[in-house]
Amino acid sequence: MWAVSTLTMLVLAGALPDFRLQSDNGDSATTIAVTAAFGAGAFGLLSSLVWPFLVRLLLLVPALVLGLLVFFLNGSLLLLALRLNPSGRGEAAPETAVVVAAVMSAVASATGAALAVRDDDAYRRRLYRLAERRRTPRTGPDGHPAPAGPGTVFLQLDGVGHDVLRDAVARGLMPTVASWLGHGPAGPATHRLTPWRTDWSSQTGSSQLGILHGSNHDVPAFRWYEKETREVMVCNRPSSAAELQRRAMERTGDAGLLADDGASRGNLFGGGAGQLALVLSTSARRDRATRSRAGYFAYFSDPANAVRTAMSFVADVIREIGEALRARIRKERPRVGRGGLYPFIRAFATVVERDVVVAAVIGDMLAGRAAVYADLVAYDEVAHHSGPHSRDAEKVLQRLDRSLALIARVTEHAPRAYRIVVLSDHGQSPGETFLGRYGLTLGQLVRAGCGLPVPRRARRTHSGAEARSAVRAALRRPVEESAEEHRPPRRSEPVVLASGNLGLVSFPDVPHRMSKEEIDRRHPALLSTLANHPGIGFLLVRSEKHGGVVLAAHGTEVPVGELDDDHPGPLADFGPGAAAAVRRTHAFPHVADIMVNSWYDPADGEVLAFEEQIGSHGGLGGAQGRPFLLSPVALSAPVGEGGEIVGAEHVHRVLRRWLRESDGPQVPQAAARARDRRAA
């Protein structure tokens, strides 16, 4: 690597006019080579010894700012290396030093990887540098090393639906997954693919809370209004995520899926893990052990990683700007705005967050942890703005498949065997926005039905994509302070919130959940205005006579208790399980006064999002409610013959069973029995 770095420095000195390795009078080739060798060696040593300390100091700097500083810090180290040269012949302009340092770091990274291909020890040492810390061997009660069964890695591909994954495998976009499923010449299948069905709230907050903590009770949507506190709960808001995690733990009496020797990476919730990095529910804490950005140090402490990720970040920003321009020139429909800060948010999700989380998972595996759960949000973020079947989204799937291949390769070097489980928390349904089709938002429609003045210009609803929460945490701005829905509402006006194609309407001046009869007396035209609008599929409200009722067009009104898969009524187009999902949500303490699910076309699978998204999730209708579970055949089948996994809490019980089979985290029997009784 020293020799290659020296050669690289010589080539750059010949190519760049502001970078010299010889005196003004000229030097012999030997002197120039010695100067280059000394400069390359000094730069390599400084990168190895000084860089980690710089990154640790710069943890006080927001992560995105650190990414921009990478080039300048690297250039400063190169200038210092040239100054240390006893001959004093090395010289470079500051801006040229940035370029030289970036190229040399990239070449060193590529060289190290190439040398490690046929040297397992070198490869293992390089991967160990990515680990957050080295763990001491596990010991039993007698102090002797404890027997270690296989560990389990759960990798969540955020927003990737079952049908999207299957199509990507069939088209050759995900060769790693294809080989696991036994497609092609790779050999027999090592994994099985199983779809599962989400709850009505088909979004990460509800699904991941249920998967990691065993309960997503009283999570009716991505955001909802709680009347007793007059606050809006938002799943990707650190304070809300921490409160939801506390409620789930109180309900189950259990710390979570990862309570025994587990690690949580890039998630909304901790799952009871002792090792946390980039976890939103802890991002507001300032203590060293649980700060959400701790995982950045583990990754950026390697200057080659920092430069590579920074360069990929810039490339992805340029790629997004080009793709957005292409969509505008071709006048593609549907289309949403992709300007402003979005290219940087997308690049953070598809590059920075992916690289840091994958590195953290590799470190956990090399440390021998029993269970790891990590969320990769890249596809979900891109699909929201480009569409779940777009060319952009397909490229992200290809890159995610390469990340899976890298993690699978690490199992050869880990101190214990690992079983890799890949799953998703929800899918995405395509479709135009409600605003784009009808020229008004759900909030404006509600105001019209209430007889309130409606602004002439529609105000676009803020997107709740998961990647934005990760960016805010990295920038130390965890709360959406400017979002209108987080301000205390006027008590005389309804609060209208959006969660994909699910809308929630609450009346803050009424302390209880209003009934249909109360709403009709107060706003006689509201419910009929909503139910008969062509962009709305159905409403859920409380009835003083029937309990919960589902309202739809043409005066349709059916008690929730009378709906099932055999008699779905106005829920027929929304598929099996829709009635049960609506009935469960109706029992939540914080369900809105009016729950609004958009129109859904079963022929093409499209919905109408109440947010600015052309790929959305959050309600009922289409692929958003059909995620997947990809599990090793060495583990027991998720469900019996003809069975189906229904709801995130069911997924939690399946994952718990697999951890017990792998001699991983054990469920306290009392807590397990109590949870099983509640589930029954």
Q: Give the pLDDT confidence of 276-290 residue by residue, as tens digits.
A: 888 888 876 555 544
pLDDT at residue 31 in the model: 79
| Separation of alpha carbons 33 and 10, rounded Å | 7
Average pLDDT over residues 537-559: 94
Is the pLDDT confidence value at 470 over 70? Answer: no
Find the range with the poorest average confidence among 105-109, 147-151, 309-313, 492-496: 105-109
| Separation of alpha carbons 57 and 526, rounded Å | 57
Share of the chain above pLDDT 90, in %: 51
| Separation of alpha carbons 96 and 14, rounded Å | 13
Residue 410 — φ and ψ, nearest 5°?
Answer: -65, -25
Q: Which amino acid is at 376?
A: L
3-state secondary structure of 302: coil
pLDDT at residue 403 in the model: 92
Q: Nearest Cα to 657, choosing from 101, 181, 350, 640?
A: 640
Residue 230: pLDDT band (50, 70, 90) is very high
Residue 419 — φ and ψ, nearest 5°?
Answer: -110, 125
pLDDT at residue 46 in the model: 78
Helices 238-252, 669-679: axis angle to 10 degrees equals: 100
All residues at 6 or more sequence positions from 596 whose CB lies less than 8 Å from its CB, including other chains: 442, 502, 503, 504, 505, 530, 536, 539, 610
Neighbouring C-beta atoms of residue 58, cutoff 10 Å = 18
- The beta strands (E) that lie in 366-475 are given as 371-376, 418-423, 429-430
Q: Each residue of 576-611: pLDDT tens digit?
A: 999 999 999 999 999 999 999 999 999 999 999 999
Instruction: Give the long-range contacts of residues 394-400, CB within 8 A, separation 24 or more.
Output: 394/168, 394/173, 396/350, 397/160, 397/164, 397/168, 397/173, 397/174, 398/173, 398/174, 399/350, 399/354, 400/157, 400/160, 400/174, 400/354, 400/376
Highest mean pLDDT: which of 92-96, 241-245, 295-299, 335-339? 241-245
C-alpha distances in Å from residue 316, one per residue of 159, 335, 343, 352, 470:
20, 20, 8, 10, 17
Which string of b and e fits 471-484 if b means at least 16 CB within 10 Å? bbbbeeebebeeee
Q: Pairing between strand 645-646 and 191-197? A: parallel
More confident residue, 484 or 203: 203
pLDDT at residue 429 in the model: 96
Is the pLDDT confidence value at 135 over 50? Answer: no
Q: Which two tokens stand for residue 491?
A: 């008590």
DSSP 635: S
Name the β-bridge partners of 595.
504, 540
Q: Each residue of 668-679: pLDDT tens digit?
A: 433 444 444 454
Q: Each residue of 394-403: pLDDT tens digit?
A: 999 999 999 9
Is the pLDDT confidence value at 461 over 60? Answer: no
Q: Pairing between strand 191-197 and 628-632? A: antiparallel
Average pLDDT over residues 421-430: 97
DSSP H or E run through 210 = helix 204-213
Is the pLDDT confidence value at 496 over 80? Answer: yes
Check: CB of residue 154 under 8 Å from CB of residue 374: yes
Which string of b and e fits 398-410 if b means at least 16 CB within 10 Å? ebbbebbeebbeb
pLDDT at residue 58 in the model: 62
Helices 303-329, 94-116: axis angle to 10 degrees equals: 100
Q: What is the DSSP string of 327-394?
A: HHHTT-SS-----TTHHHHHHIIIIIHHHHHHHHHHHHHHTT-SEEEEEE-HHHHHHHHH-TTSHHHH
Is the pLDDT confidence value at 480 over 50? Answer: no
Neighbouring C-beta atoms of residue 331, cutoff 10 Å = 7
Q: Which two tokens stand for residue 467?
A: 């990647």
Residue 467: pLDDT band (50, 70, 90) is low
pLDDT at residue 302 in the model: 67
Q: Nearest Cα to 161, choosing from 634, 629, 639, 648?
A: 629
More confident residue, 665 or 22: 22
All residues at 6 or more sequence positions from 92 whose CB lies less than 8 Å from its CB, including other chains: 16, 18, 19, 20, 78, 79, 82, 100
C-alpha distances in Å from residue 542, one per residue of 218, 388, 587, 588:
16, 35, 10, 12
pTM (predicted TM-score): 0.80
Q: What is the DSSP string of 149-189?
A: --EEEEEEETT--HHHHHHHHHTTS-HHHHHHTT-GGG-S-
All residues at 6 or more sequence positions from 617 whose CB lies less than 8 Å from its CB, including other chains: 159, 202, 203, 426, 427, 428, 429, 500, 501, 624
Is the pLDDT confidence value at 478 over 70? Answer: no
Find the range with the poorest average confidence among 27-36, 149-158, 217-226: 27-36
pLDDT at residue 134 in the model: 43
Average pLDDT over residues 243-270: 94
* Residue with the two structure tokens 């990478």: 70
Is the pLDDT confidence value at 133 over 50? Answer: no
Is the pLDDT confidence value at 370 over 50? Answer: yes
| Separation of alpha carbons 446 and 96, rounded Å | 59
Cβ burial, residue 120 (10 Å; 0-12/13-18/19+): exposed
Residue 161 — φ and ψ, nearest 5°?
Answer: -75, 165
Q: Nearest Cα to 270, choosing from 361, 375, 348, 196?
A: 375
More confident residue, 459 or 315: 315
Name the β-bridge partners of 506.
495
Is the pLDDT confidence value at 52 over 80? Answer: no
Residue 524: pLDDT band (50, 70, 90) is very high
Q: Which two tokens stand for residue 655?
A: 């994952």
Q: Which amino acid is at 652?
A: H
Chain-centroid distance, C-alpha 207: 12
Which string of b and e fits 93-108 if b means at least 16 CB within 10 Å? beebbbbbbbbbbebb
Find the range with the poorest average confidence among 71-75, 145-149, 311-315, 432-436: 145-149
| Separation of alpha carbons 449 and 611, rounded Å | 20
Cβ burial, residue 639 (10 Å; 0-12/13-18/19+): middle
Residue 485: pLDDT band (50, 70, 90) is very low
| Separation of alpha carbons 378 and 357, rounded Å | 11
DSSP 660: H
Q: Which two tokens stand for residue 49?
A: 């010894």
Is the pLDDT confidence value at 615 over 60? Answer: yes
DSSP 546: T
Check: CB of residue 449 under 8 Å from CB of residue 525: yes
Is the pLDDT confidence value at 69 over 80? Answer: no
